[in-house]
Amino acid sequence: MNLASLMNPPRKHEEDAAPRRLQLIRIQTTVLLQGALSAAQESVKSFRHMRDVLTGAYAQART
């Protein structure tokens, strides 16, 4: 159950609800995709940070 189904009562006509369901699926897909992309970007940032720490790249930047 999602938040939209709690805010809006279910419709009686099932054929009218099909486009609405499709729109909700698109929104949910977009949110999940944005979350996955954000997690991948954070993973790359943390990898680069640890690589710089381990290779001493930050020590060169400080001098």
Structural domain spans, the chain: 34-63
What are 38-54's pLDDT values in tens digits? 999 999 999 999 998 89
Q: Helix, strand or coil for residue 19?
A: helix
| 29 or 12: which leads in pLDDT | 29
Residue 57, pLDDT score: 78
Residue 6, pLDDT score: 67
